[in-house]
Amino acid sequence: MSQSTQSLSRRIQDLVQQIYPELDATILASLIVDAFWPAGTQRRKRARVRGNTLWSERDALVITYGNSIVDGAHKPLDLLNDFLHRYLRGALNSVHILPFFPYTSDDGFAVSDFRAVNPQLGDWADINRIARDFKLMSDLVLNHVSSQGNWFNAYRQGQAPFDKFFFEADPTDDLSMVVRPRTTPLLRRVDTSNGPRHVWCTFSHDQIDLDFRNPEVLLEFLRIIRLHVDNGVEIIRLDAVAFLWKEIGSPSIHLPQTHAVVQLMRLLCDFASEKIILLTETNVPKAENLSYFGAGNEAHAIYNFPLPPLILHAMMSGSAQYLRRWQRGMPPAPMGCAYLNFTASHDGIGMRPAEGLLPEHEKQQVIDTVRATGGLVSMRAMPDGSQSPYELNTTFYAALERTFKGADQYHFERFICSQTIVMSLEGIPAFYIHSLLATPNDHEAVEHRGMNRAINRHRWDYPTLRGLLDDPASPQARVLDALTGRLKLRGKQTAFHPNATQFTVNMGDDRIFGVWRQSLDRHQSIFALHNISDETVTISSEALNLIEDVAWCDLLSGETVDPLAAQITLTPYQCRWITNRA
């Protein structure tokens, strides 16, 4: 055995001892290696050195369901592939296809078969086709499975190894500390061949939580990761990973064993011959979210969950006070890590990440304004039995129809400004397909499906959508053209590398949100300025410290910027990318 192999085995054993101290670490480490690298696969002799080469300024991602675009005749994955090439090629190079497996509820997140593609969408060949031209992200829904899938059916029948795959509890157990984002009962009673059992359901009674105290569960998910990687997946999204490990009498969120499991997966990915990026999905307050970077040894990337509510508040209030305060206190991502920046996803706009960042009266104004645009609010259960707003259910485009002042003529400009902020910040920008397409709230889907989140999960008829995109005056065409144009421009700027230096600029005016970015080689600087108000704002150029004897220009307008000029003006919701290198 080579020294590098010994090193990998030793490191796996150290993590196994943290997760499963009662088991033989040597044997389990060998099983882990065999699960992740079955016969015929190769691994690196040494782990990848942490660095900033896994991504670049050219990386930008679209988030979509496999059937966000349909026509009733063709496979949805074929239509998605056509849409990606026809409208997004050159602007975005990565795609997150939300769970594309057979499922029974929650729009894919109650998976019934992790090894198959939902035949209503297409097949693995269609996934492979997309992965050839775009970096592909898939979901590892590792906290739970469908109550109607093969795994849970085998559990109820007492079939090994599935008879020990699911987390059981007793209704008399102390579960008062459990943190979860739902108001439904935590336990579900089910009949099994071994008698009645109560199984743990963090999200719904159709989503039964797995028991990672059984190492067979971990091994099975490592095999599933391998299947995805072999089919072209480059980014693995660890869905709801914070809830992975449970202990009776504890909050059962962010437990040490959960972090150790993520560290183990990161270690395996670092030794993989394929480039694999781990992304954790933890819709929680700032410190808890940042913890999934670990010491640079857990997730490669984490969602920047405070961004959606903070950007929404800034655009509605016309004040960057809280957005700037939060951004100023955000640390750079550790070496080898990055933020994933976004404003919208398939879920709602999470309000938990705004805890401690927005005062309660400011959050309530956001909630009231979203409701005024036709948006909805979902609640979560608190330990004392009360309920608290968990997320806002709306498309981001619809939410910005109004400000705290009411509706105005700046809806388009305000929305484009909000998305430009996402492009400007340290990290990798991601855009939900319905943000790119200016999709309105789908109230009909909510009524039809009886689920708040359906408001943000519209399915476009492709011929109808193409007709709208062919009309330059439609909101869909205007928004897609503006955003893809800025993304193509952004991809050419080294100062927008996900790990390029960032400094939050205080312009002395809360109506302006600004950051300074500098490329890794220090050759390019960009001052990204965003007027988040409905007023024309003039600021002193001294706040930017533009170096004299250097040609500065605004990338977005094409204007030359005189470093000796006393003032810089931004019209309502205007953005400027002022750079020394065009």
CATH numbers and ranges of domains, the chain: 1-58+134-139+218-303 (3.20.20.80), 144-209 (3.90.400.10), 501-579 (2.60.40.1180)
Given CA atoms 150, 156, 158, 161 in this order, what sign does their dihedral have?
positive
Instruction: Name the band, by pLDDT with cuts 50, 70 and 90, for residue 383.
Output: confident
Q: What is the pLDDT of residue 235?
A: 98
The Cα 472–Cα 166 span in angstroms is 53
Instruction: Name the band, by pLDDT with cuts 50, 70 and 90, for residue 285.
Output: confident
Per-residue pLDDT, averaged over 380-391, amounts to: 79
- Token code pair at residue 529: 């300025």
Is residue 254 annotated as involved in ligand binding? no
The Cα 15–Cα 264 span in angstroms is 6
Instruction: State the pairing for strand pair 349-350/387-393.
Output: antiparallel
Amino acid identity, position 183: T
Is residue 209 annotated as involved in ligand binding? no
What confidence tens digit (pLDDT) does each residue in 168-197 have?
999 999 999 999 888 899 999 999 999 999
Tell me 172's DSSP state.
T
Is residue 237 annotated as involved in ligand binding? yes
- Token code pair at residue 479: 């928004």
Instruction: Name the band, by pLDDT with cuts 50, 70 and 90, for residue 548.
Output: confident
Per-residue pLDDT, averaged over 317-345, amounts to: 96
Cα separation of the two ends of the chain? 53
Amino acid identity, position 255: L
- Return phi, psi of residue 505, to 5°: -95, 125
| Candidate list 59, 139, 209, 239, residue with the active-site label | 239
Contact of 456 with 370, CB cutoff 8 Å? no
Percent helix, strand and coil across the chain, each to the nearest 5: 35, 20, 45
Q: H/E/C letters for each residue in 259-299?
A: HHHHHHHHHHHHHECCCCEEEECCCCCHHHHHHHHCCCCCC
CB atoms within 10 A of CB 551: 12
Instruction: Name the band, by pLDDT with cuts 50, 70 and 90, for residue 41.
Output: very high
Q: What is the pLDDT of residue 284?
A: 85
Instruction: Name the band, by pLDDT with cuts 50, 70 and 90, for residue 389.
Output: confident
Per-residue pLDDT, averaged over 431-442, amounts to: 98
Instruction: Name the band, by pLDDT with cuts 50, 70 and 90, for residue 564.
Output: confident
The Cα 191–Cα 313 span in angstroms is 48
Instruction: Name the band, by pLDDT with cuts 50, 70 and 90, for residue 2.
Output: low
Is pLDDT at 553 greater than 80 in this prediction?
yes
Contact of 134 with 85, CB cutoff 8 Å? no
- Out of 200-214, 370-384, 513-527, which region has the weakest mean confidence (pLDDT)? 370-384
What confidence tens digit (pLDDT) does each residue in 451-466 have?
999 999 999 999 999 9
Q: What is the pLDDT of residue 310?
A: 97
Provide CB contacts within 8 A for 393, sequence distance 6+. 348, 375, 376, 377, 378, 452, 453, 455, 456
Instruction: State the pairing for strand pair 277-280/301-303.
Output: parallel
Q: What is the pLDDT of residue 204?
A: 95
- Token code pair at residue 95: 């795609």
Per-residue pLDDT, averaged over 246-262, amounts to: 97
Amino acid identity, position 391: E
Is residue 106 annotated as involved in ligand binding? yes
Q: Name residue, tokens 């955000």.
A: 330
Average pLDDT, the chain: 95
Is residue 211 annotated as involved in ligand binding? no
Per-residue pLDDT, averaged over 438-455, amounts to: 96
- Token code pair at residue 417: 């400004």
Is pLDDT at 4 greater than 70 in this prediction?
no
Is residue 238 annotated as involved in ligand binding? yes
Is residue 523 annotated as involved in ligand binding? no
Give Cα separations from 86 to 133, 139, 466, 490 (angstroms): 13, 25, 10, 20
Q: Name residue, tokens 């239509």.
A: 79
549 is catalytic: no
Q: What is the pLDDT of residue 543?
A: 81
Is pLDDT at 68 greater than 90 in this prediction?
yes
Alpha carbon 579 to its chain centroid, in Å, reads 29
Q: Of all residues in the chain, what percent carry a pLDDT higher than 70?
A: 99
The Cα 169–Cα 345 span in angstroms is 33
The Cα 280–Cα 398 span in angstroms is 28
Per-residue pLDDT, averaged over 501-529, amounts to: 95
* Bridge partners (DSSP) listed for residue 280: 238, 302
Q: Of all residues in the chain, what percent carry a pLDDT higher than 90?
A: 90
The Cα 409–Cα 400 span in angstroms is 11
Is residue 163 annotated as involved in ligand binding? no
Is pLDDT at 5 greater than 80 in this prediction?
no
